[in-house]
Amino acid sequence: MQPAVFRMRIQPGMEDVYRQRHEAVWPEVEAALRRVGFSRYSIFAAGTELVAYFEAVDPPATLARLAEEPVMQRWWAWMAPVMGDEPADAHDYVRVYHLDDPREE
């Protein structure tokens, strides 16, 4: 599995709405994420800034497959009023350090 990180933004004042919607994420969304190859997906928030982390065999191809999922298109349309513009460098992260979990060795 390869790691992938990207950033997103929430519209100012919509932080609580974003959290509430993700506390009740649609089961079909989670099924689609798994179906296209997402593993260990997390989103971290600091104010309106979001950082997402996931693992996949081929992260760019996995994201492309996800974009083709009808349920994801509906989810993203529902989330659009909550989301800010994606930062220009949203996908430009390169891992420079990693510490393995000794329990997984």
Catalytic positions, written as ranges? 22
56, containing H or E segment: strand 49-56
Q: Residues 30, 54: contact at Cβ < 8 Å? A: no
Phi/psi of residue 30, nearest 5 degrees? -60, -40
Q: Residues 24, 80: contact at Cβ < 8 Å? A: no
Q: Which of 99, 102, 105, 6 minimizes the C-alpha distance to 54?
A: 6
45, containing H or E segment: strand 39-46
